[in-house]
Each structure stands twice: as structure tokens, then as C-alpha cells.
């Protein structure tokens, strides 16, 4: 019997394998991975942190936020619509955090891919609204 299936998935190894298989050019520093993501004609930075059996996925919108109070209010409104993850401000940018809990080796990469895809879908969906609000403009939903 192969005992490797009894071990918890290695989140960093599973993420690296997924990114390499997908042809993603990434930089790894310890438990942190950085790469560019493109979706719907938009490009942004993704940062992933591997913590034991969990992969945390951070999608960073590139538009610098001018009014943090206004942007925080938008985060609160949009967070009420999110099914998974949360939107917050960090270092003057909107950041969307999602995560993947890896419980089995067989589905580890599929769970990571789902967290990445959800993150990308949400950022793409709200792209123009986040960009406008970052500049202090209002776009109605």
C-alpha cells in the first residue's frame, strides 16, 4: 500500500505543479508565489501563500486607490455579494482573497484551480467598478 496517500497534500508542491502544468510564469519565494493573471482583457497580479493544507489566493487590482474611506465602503458593499472570499484594501489597492482547503491529494490541484478561477471571475466582473471607485468615480451596478 502506498503511504503517500495518507499524507496531507503539500500545498506549495501542488500549486507549483498546477502552475507549471498550466504554463504560468511565476516566481516562488518560500511559501509565496507571484504571477500575472489575465482575464476578460484585464491583467493583474496574483499572490498565493501556502499555509499547511491551505492555499490563500490574493488578486491585486492594479488601480491605486485615492480615497481609502470610499474604497472601504465599496469593499463592504461588495463583500455582501461574495459567496467565497473577501475584498479589502492593502497598500492602496483593492485585494480579493479566496482560498483552497486541500484535504486530499487527488483533488488538491482542482481545488486550487477553482479558487484561482473564482478569484479571477470576481475581479473581472467588478473590474471597471473597482477601477472607477479607485479614482473616486461612481459606476452604478
pLDDT tens-place string over residues 106-137? 899 999 999 999 999 999 999 999 999 888 87
Neighbours of 95 (CB within 10 A): 19
Contact 8, 52 (CB under 8 A): yes
Per-chain mean pLDDT for the chain: 91
What confidence score (pLDDT) does residue 98 get? Answer: 97
- What are 29-69's pLDDT values in tens digits? 999 999 999 877 889 999 999 998 999 999 999 999 999 99
- What are 67-112's pLDDT values in tens digits? 999 999 999 999 999 999 999 999 999 999 999 999 988 899 999 9
Which three three-digit cell numbers place residue 31? Answer: 511559501
Residue 113 to residue 9: CA distance in whole angstroms: 15
Note the pTM of the prediction, 2 decimals: 0.90
Amino acid at each position: 500500500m502506498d503511504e503517500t496517500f495518507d499524507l496531507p497534500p503539500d500545498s506549495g508542491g501542488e500549486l507549483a505543479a498546477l502552475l507549471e502544468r498550466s504554463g504560468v510564469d511565476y516566481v516562488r519565494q518560500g511559501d509565496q508565489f507571484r504571477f500575472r493573471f489575465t482575464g476578460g482583457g484585464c491583467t493583474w497580479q496574483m499572490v498565493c501563500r501556502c499555509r499547511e493544507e491551505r492555499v490563500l489566493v490574493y488578486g491585486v487590482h492594479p488601480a491605486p486607490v485615492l480615497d481609502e474611506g470610499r474604497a472601504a465602503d465599496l469593499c463592504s458593499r461588495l463583500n455582501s455579494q461574495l459567496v467565497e472570499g473577501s475584498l479589502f484594501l492593502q497598500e492602496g489597492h483593492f485585494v480579493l482573497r479566496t482560498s483552497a482547503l486541500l484535504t486530499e491529494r487527488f483533488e488538491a490541484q482542482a481545488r486550487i484551480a477553482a479558487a484561482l478561477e473564482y478569484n479571477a471571475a470576481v475581479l473581472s466582473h467588478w473590474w471597471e467598478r473597482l477601477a472607477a471607485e479607485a479614482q473616486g468615480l461612481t459606476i452604478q451596478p
